[in-house]
Amino acid sequence: MTSAVNTPPGELTGRAALVTGASRGIGLAIAHSLVGRGARTVITARRAEGLEEAAAALGGPDHAVPVPGNASDPAHREAAVRTAIDRFGGLDMLVANVGINPVYGPLMDTDLGAVEKIMNTNVVATLGLIQQAWHAWMAEHGGSILVVASTAGLRAAEGIAAYGVSKAALINLTTQLAVELGPAVRVNAIAPAVVKTRFAEVLYEGREEEVARRYPAGRLGRPEDAGEAAAYLLGPGAGWVTGQVLVLDGGGLARGPV
């Protein structure tokens, strides 16, 4: 569970969101930040049980509606978008947070089938979701989109190179879509470094203090760090911000290699 943060009450009242990969970690933290500002949110993930628990933690059906399914399934993406429109009257904010990384190691030893799976889930399915949201609602009514990328997409990422390549593609996708979908829709991304989630455990487990020393801020990221950044980029305060990638890394890129 994410820790409490101070949020501007009512800032997103009356707005509807769809957050993918939101049963835990960064996705759930983003949903918490949006709901805390008054938004109503459809959340997705593969496993129904964990998603139901997340929806309950967000306040139940008046605030969050779960739609379990596989992000790579076009029917699931359509159902998620349609649920937001039918239950909440629209789709003002879309968060593309689904990401997988089933392999660890150098690219020269990485199975190409695994690379294809990573690209299909992380990139192709994200584009498919955005297409669905655009055609079903945002082209006519406008909105804002947030893509969850990674600092692995900004520089070489030893051990998770295939994942990094997919995140680099998402960063480019963000800038491409900001141009294509403007002015009706703003498109931005966040690029977190190591955040304390189950997904990222392999990157810090058993050596958290050592990893944290890489960052001038002196700690690893927390899910709520991403949640608050996402809420800003999606909300009215970022009305003149589009095509941007907000790096969330505790100053790691500023320091450079250590």
> In the structure encoding, which two tokens stand for residue 139, read together?
């082209």
Residue given tokens 């409490």 in the structure block? 4
Cα separation of 222 and 196, whole Å? 6
- Is 163 considered catalytic here? yes
> Amino acid identity of 152?
A
Catalytic one among 104, 163, 215, 232? Answer: 163
Query: In Å, what is the CA distance from 86 to each residue of 65, 69, 137, 212?
Result: 11, 18, 11, 44
Q: Residue 131's closest CA among 99, 166, 91?
A: 91
| Local structure of 35: helix, strand or coil | helix
CA distance 258 to 252: 9
* Residues labelled catalytic: 163
